[in-house]
Structure 1
Amino acid sequence: MLLEELNIDVSETAQETGEHAGRAIESTLVELQKVKSEIRVIFAAAPSQDYTLDYLANSAKIDWSKVVAFNMDEYIGLADGAEQLFSNYLENRLFSKIKPKAKYFINPTNPVAEEVKRIAQLIEEQPIDVVCLGIGQNGHIAFNDPPVADFEDEYTIKEVELDDVCRMQQVLDKCFETIEEVPKQALTLTIPTIFKGERLFCVVVGEHKREAVKHTMNSAISTTWPSTILRKHKSCYFFFDRKAYPGT
């Protein structure tokens, strides 16, 4: 797909970017809640999603009682109450303020094989309507870093080892103080699972994401930069701030 055919929204600030994405997601959910009794949504957890989640948490239009929510990935090895756990982030940022029909967070304290089976069954029950995601500095989608990314992955969710670029990003994002504190293993939904979402809303902000965005938009579609696959999705909407988007 040509760059000019992609759905790209560029705002001046990270807050404006998040709010633009929030409005687009809100509009989609309002549209779906008129015709569906259940709307299935996958949420990413990262500082890049802050303003989007804030907008959604404050929406007066979304009927959350129809939303079944999932998180996209989760660290293995952190203490239950760790603020870095994506389930805790989403709880604090969004779910403590709204009441969804159901929420299914990845539980990294369960044995990996059991948790992979549990989440896979839940995800596969019905199609996913909406995916809220970002792009990592290494082009990862969820925790599908280049060494483990697979566009034809047979799994719905899998255990992965995080690469050093991904782990250092968590430090740069101020989620951890040092790279040694960042877990090396995680559970992640796979790229085919995310790609099956009916509509994808991809929010990317900050100058540290500029190279990743440039490759996402312009490089050959390959797992060298996993996010390049998003160009092939029929309904992926990109939201960038000016610092992240380098232009053509």
Structure 2
Amino acid sequence: MKSAQPVVTFRIDHLDVEIHPDNQAMGVAAADAAAKIINSAVERSGTANLVLATGNSQLTFLAALRKQNVAWSAVTVFHMDEYLNLPAGHPAGFPAFLRRHLLDEVRVGAFYPVPGHPADLTSACRGYEALLRAHPVDLCVLGIGENGHLAFNDPPADFGEADWVKAVDLDEHSRRQQVGEGHFDRLDEVPTRAITLTITGLRSAATMLCLAPERRKAAAVHRALTGPVDGTCPASILRRTPQARLLLDRDSASLLEPRNPERTGGAE
């Protein structure tokens, strides 16, 4: 029988990186890790607080997470961004995405969607930040955008913001990515503004798992891991985030220098 391909693991600055054989293997590994983190938090404090990303990069992870033995009734779920003023019921809305791919299948203790139609934008951002501060995040699972964004922190991103939640104007590259992923038919259908957790808000999590599969993410991954750590590539801040772990597949890692395989959990 052919042996399984090894997982390549290494460290860049403070960031542990894993290269899995394919997207499916990456998603299963991420779900295994997430389930352990969530259940450990529940055992420790009786509850677990989880921030989830949306988008196609999360699909294999969410499918695998649904199959995990998780104490879902003790879990509070947040997510990290949402379009402003997307038509009600639009399937591209991020709460709808999470319901389709996870929350309709498991019964969590509570789900707090980012408000997409706030009467007062400033109050909405402050209110969501207050919820996050009242529920210290045990795990944040996020992705990397094709332009290097984290959540909707497009370049140039501010790594030092005091606020945890803010309204943003969306970069055209981010909006085109949404069309490319099939969530909208045309660019003019994609909203131009959103609410997002800031880099500071994301990094408030005790643990972060960043999932970035697929060849279309290869250039952003390469910039994040080999370029300067600055706002021109928001994902580069992961290299200064000791509680973060980056999971790739061979396609998204295709522009990185080849490395010798190590056992999963090893470093070089």
TM-score of the aligned structures, taking structure 1 as reference length: 0.95
> For residues 44 and 127 of structure 1, what CA distance do their matches in structure 2 show?
17
Q: What per-residue deviation string (whole Å, max 9, x for no partner) do you get for residues 200-230 of structure 1? A: 0000111111000001111111000011001
1:158 pairs, out of 163, 166, 191, with 166
Aligned residue runs from structure 1 range 113-192, under 5 A: 113-147=122-156, 149-192=157-200
For residues 85-104 of structure 1, what are the structure 2 equivalents within 5 Å?
Answer: 85-104=93-112
Structure 1: give runs of 5+ residues left out of the alignment: none
The structural deviation recorded for 1:5 is: 5.9
Aligned-partner residue type, residue 199 of structure 1: T
What is the aligned partner in structure 2 of residue 8 from structure 1? 17
Distance in 1, matches of 2:240 and 2:162, equals 19
Contact (CA 8 Å) 1:40, 1:128: kept in 2 or not? Answer: yes
2: distance between equivalents of 1:14 and 1:82? 27
Corresponding residue for residue 80 of structure 1: 88
Matched, 1:38 2:86: no
Q: Kindly tell me: are residues 189 and 62 of structure 1, through their superposed partners in 2, closer, same or farther at Cα, counting changes over 3 Å?
A: same
Counterpart for residue 36 of structure 2: 27
Do the aligned partners of 1:108 and 1:115 also contact (CA within 8 Å) in 2?
Answer: no
1:140 deviates by: 0.5
The AA in structure 1 aligned to 2:140 is: V
The CA distance in 2 between the partners of 1:33 and 1:126, in whole Å, is 13
Q: Find out whether 1:227 has 2:235 as its counterpart.
A: yes
With 29-38 and 220-229 compared, the bigger mean Cα shift is at: 29-38
Amino acid at match of 1:127: P
- Contact 2:230/2:236 (<8 A) preserved: yes
Question: Which range moves more in the overlay, 109-118 or 233-242?
Answer: 109-118
Query: Percent identity among equivalent residues?
Result: 29
Tell me, yes or no, if the aligned pair for 2:225 and 2:239 is still in contact at 8 Å: yes
Structure 1, residues 132-174: CA drift from partner, whole Å, max 9, x if none?
0000011110000014x21111211111000111111111111
Tell me the C-alpha RMSD between the 2 structures.
1.5
Alignment of 1:190-205 (within 5 A): 190-205=198-213
Bigger drift between 22-31 and 188-197 goes to 22-31
Higher radius of gyration, 1 or 2? 2
Secondary structure, counterpart of 1:160 in structure 2: strand
Question: Partner residue of 1:237?
Answer: 245
Question: Could you give the per-residue CA deviations for residues 64-111 of structure 1, whole angstroms, max 9, x where no partner exists?
Answer: 111111010000121121110000000111011111111100121122
Alpha-carbon distance in 1 for matches of 2:99, 2:111: 10
- The CA deviation at 1:114 is 2.7
Partners of 2:224 and 2:218 lie apart in 1 by 10
Partner of 2:263: none
Aligned to 2:58, the other structure's residue is in SS state helix
User: Could you tell me how far apart the structure 2 residues matched to 1:5 and 1:51 are?
Assistant: 26
Residues paired across the two proteins, number: 246
- Checking the alignment, whether the CA contact within 8 Å between 2:15 and 2:242 is kept in structure 1 is no
Give the SS at the match of 2:98: helix
Give the CA deviation at 1:126: 3.5
Structure 2: runs of 5+ lacking an equivalent: 1-9, 258-268
| Partner SS state of residue 45, structure 2 | coil
**The one of 34, 49, 53 aligned to 2:58:** 49
In 1, Cα distance between equivalents of 2:48 and 2:99: 19
Hey, what's the Cα distance between the residues in 1 that align with 2:129 and 2:14?
Answer: 33
